[in-house]
Structure formats: structure tokens, C-alpha cells
């Protein structure tokens, strides 16, 4: 895709409708799938980064994507592992998974498979040609450009009385938290619970129940069956998200204000810290930090480095902004006064694993909580 081309004939990735609205335009951004080496002099190409909301099925979705390969993922928070344990325990308590359950998992390319936990409860993969009792999509389907095809592939693997489950970072939490930078290239769909339930209903599957988790500010595990009936927990969740406006483009468009507010607040905060003689570093070279740094126009002159707990990105730089990525030990040696944390879920973990920051008088600041005037 040429980097100066905007798609004008937008079709829904699920229902194929051409009726909808742009609800977030994050401007021209580098892809967060490629982290160049720190000494790579090449200019990072920029691409449109826009979210469109279908007026028919209400799926919020990525418009343009440069289709570049995914590189080394960042370190996932301990909270993701803890939530996985909780989710599988709830599936077992509901009788969805147990000894001998034939199960297929569609995982995220960022890691975080549930298989080790599922096997403890007795699940096993299917034999060749065998249909599954359960299909679990663990933050996976959002990475499929064709959402209708992705849904068909998952449900086609099930027995007639099988159950399909989807874990997703719900649009309700994205909007409520102003998490505009959850939008990124390669992430094609942003589901509200009523929108995903509607997608399932359109292909003959009925959403039956759902569990809510605090991961990423609000994640949902939704279950569906061919002959299922909606329970009270799911009904309440759908009602609450509809009341919050998750089927209304003008409400979801609040993410546009959040993009301006958060990026402006980040730059203001760093400039104020530096003016006060305080040093600022970052932690977690997360994909969501890419757009935030670029929109805030924060480079190495303001933020000297970002430490990352995973080794795959060390010696690389943040695309677009050029901020170097280093090991946590280098950050500790630098003794920063403030560390901007780009994934809020990591806070309990980094306080435990990098205690030197606070022990030496520094403090952690969650980047996403900064606003203009902070």
C-alpha cells in the first residue's frame, strides 16, 4: 500500500456494509510491527492509522494496514498469566472444559497461550480430522483482516454441540479509558460485547455467557453455542455497554479527543520534568507507545531511552520517534527520577522486579494517565 494513499471505498470487515464513519484518525504513523536497529539510518515509513465504525453491525475496525510482518513481541505482564488462570478456572466451573475435552486454541501472535493451563484441566488437541468440543480464541481474531472468514474458520472446527469462546479487549474499556493508542496496524477489529454477539448471531451462533476481567482496563471472555440462550451475566454486560454508547459512532469518536489530550499531556509532562531538572526514562517498548510518542513528538532529545523486560528489542529503537530500547539494568544505572510506564498492567510487576527505581527516590508514572495540564 503506498504510504500516501487513503482508502476511500471502506467495506466492513465483517458484514461487508459500506455504511459507517471514521471515529478516530491518529494521523500518519509508523507500523508498530517493526522495531529497527538503533543504528539503522533508514527513515521509517509512515502510514494512515484510522478507525472506522460500521453503521450496520457496529464493529469498530482498522482501515489501512501496510501488511508488514510482525517482529519480536514485548514482554507480556504477569497480569495476563493471572487472568488466564482465572479464565480457564471459570470455563471449568461452567462445565466447558474438563477431562478429555477436545480443544483448539487460536492464540495471539503476541504470545500468552492458555495451553499449559488447559491441559491441567484435561483438555487435549484433536486427532487428524476430529472436530473439537471447544474452540478458544485468545486475543487472536482481531489480527485477521477478514473478520467474516476468521469467524467461519473458528466455528467450522466445532462439533454441532460445541462451544466457541473469544477473549478480547473490549471497546467499552478502550473508550472509557481514552485508550486511543490501542489502535495499531495489524489489529483489525475492536469488539464491543454487543457487536461481537451480533456477529455470532448473524452466522447462526448464540452468545450464551460472558466473564469480565480487569486486564487492559477491561477484557471479556464471551462464550457461544449453536443452540444457546443468553444468561443474565451476558444480558447485563450487553445492556451496560449499549447504555455506554458502544453502538454509537459519536460516542466512540471521543477517542479523537483522547488522542490529542494524552499526547499533549505526555509532552507537557516530560518538558516540565526536564525544566525542573528531573530525568525521565520510559519502560516497556509496547506497540501502543509507538503512536503515542509519535503524536506527542517525543524523541531521544526528550526521552533518552525506554527499558524493556524482554530481550528481543534491546539494541533497537521505537519506530518513528527513534527512542532507543535498552535493558532494565541500564535504566537502573541511570537512576532516573521518573519512569514513564507504557503498559499500566505492568505496575505491580515492575515495582517488584525493579525495586531500585523507588528505592533511589524515583517514581513510576503511567503514561496513559497523563492529560493536557495533567
Kindly tell me the sign of the dihedral angle through the C-alpha atoms of 35, 41, 42, 46: positive
Overall size of the chain counted in residues: 374
The angle that helices 147-155 and 193-202 make with each other, rounded to 10 degrees, is 70
Number of Cβ atoms within 10 Å of the Cβ of 149: 12
Cell output for 129? 480430522
Q: Are 136 and 224 in contact (CB under 8 A)?
A: no
Q: Which domains does the chain have, with CATH numbers?
A: 1-262 (3.40.50.150), 263-369 (3.40.50.720)
The model's pLDDT over 48-103, given as tens digits with 9 standing for 90+, comes to: 999 999 999 999 999 999 988 765 555 567 888 899 999 999 999 999 999 999 99
At 33, the pLDDT band (50, 70, 90 cuts) reads confident
pLDDT for 4: 56
| Residues contacting 152, CB < 8 A, separation 6+ | 203
Give the chain's radius of gyration (CA, Å): 21
Flag whether pLDDT at 222 surpasses 60.
Answer: yes
Cell output for 311? 530481550
How many Å apart are CA 279 and CA 264, to the nearest integer? 19
Q: How far is CA 374 from the centre of its chain?
A: 24
Among all chains, which residue has been given the C-alpha cell 480487569? 214
What is the pairing mode between strands 280-283 and 219-225?
unpaired
| Residues contacting 89, CB < 8 A, separation 6+ | none
Q: Are 193 and 168 in contact (CB under 8 A)?
A: no
The model's pLDDT over 91-134, given as tens digits with 9 standing for 90+, comes to: 999 999 999 999 999 988 776 789 999 999 999 999 999 999 99
Quick one: average pLDDT of 168-190? Answer: 97
Amino acid at each position: 500500500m503506498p504510504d500516501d494513499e487513503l482508502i476511500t471505498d471502506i467495506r466492513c470487515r465483517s458484514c461487508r456494509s459500506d455504511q459507517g464513519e471514521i471515529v478516530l484518525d491518529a494521523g500518519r504513523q509508523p507500523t508498530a510491527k517493526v522495531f529497527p536497529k538503533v543504528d539503522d539510518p533508514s527513515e521509517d515509513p509512515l502510514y494512515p492509522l484510522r478507525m472506522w465504525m460500521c453503521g450496520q453491525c457496529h464493529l469498530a475496525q482498522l482501515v489501512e494496514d501496510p501488511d508488514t510482518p510482525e517482529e519480536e513481541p514485548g514482554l507480556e505482564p504477569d497480569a495476563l498469566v493471572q487472568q488466564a488462570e482465572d479464565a480457564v478456572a471459570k470455563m471449568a466451573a461452567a462445565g466447558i472444559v474438563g477431562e478429555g475435552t477436545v480443544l483448539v486454541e487460536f492464540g495471539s501472535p503476541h504470545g500468552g497461550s492458555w495451553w499449559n493451563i488447559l491441559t491441567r484441566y484435561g483438555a487435549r488437541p484433536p486427532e487428524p480430522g476430529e472436530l473439537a468440543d471447544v474452540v478458544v480464541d485468545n486475543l487472536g481474531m482481531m489480527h485477521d483482516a477478514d473478520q467474516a472468514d476468521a469467524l467461519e474458520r473458528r466455528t467450522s472446527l466445532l462439533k454441532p454441540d460445541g462451544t466457541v469462546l473469544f477473549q478480547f479487549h473490549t471497546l467499552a474499556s478502550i473508550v472509557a479509558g481514552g485508550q486511543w493508542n490501542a489502535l495499531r496496524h495489524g489489529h483489525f477489529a475492536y469488539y464491543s460485547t454487543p457487536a461481537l454477539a451480533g456477529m455470532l448471531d448473524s452466522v447462526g451462533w448464540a452468545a450464551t455467557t460472558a466473564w469480565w476481567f480487569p486486564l487492559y482496563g477491561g477484557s471479556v471472555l464471551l462464550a457461544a453455542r449453536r443452540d444457546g440462550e443468553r444468561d443474565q451475566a451476558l444480558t447485563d454486560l450487553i445492556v451496560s455497554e449499549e447504555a455506554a454508547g458502544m453502538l454509537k459512532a459519536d460516542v466512540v469518536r471521543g477517542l479523537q479527543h483522547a488522542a490529542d489530550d494524552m499526547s499533549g499531556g505526555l509532552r507537557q509532562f516530560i518538558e516540565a520534568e526536564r525544566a525542573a531538572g528531573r530525568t525521565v526514562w520510559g519502560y516497556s517498548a509496547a506497540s501502543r507507545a509507538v503512536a503515542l510518542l509519535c503524536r506527542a513528538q517525543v524523541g531521544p532529545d526528550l526521552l533518552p531511552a525506554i527499558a524493556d523486560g524482554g530481550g528481543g528489542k534491546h539494541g533497537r529503537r521505537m519506530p518513528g520517534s527513534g527512542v532507543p530500547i535498552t535493558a532494565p539494568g541500564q535504566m537502573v544505572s541511570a537512576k532516573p527520577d521518573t519512569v514513564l510506564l507504557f503498559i499500566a498492567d505492568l505496575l505491580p510487576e515492575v515495582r517488584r522486579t525493579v525495586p531500585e527505581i523507588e528505592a533511589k527516590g524515583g517514581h513510576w508514572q503511567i503514561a496513559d494517565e497523563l492529560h493536557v495540564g495533567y
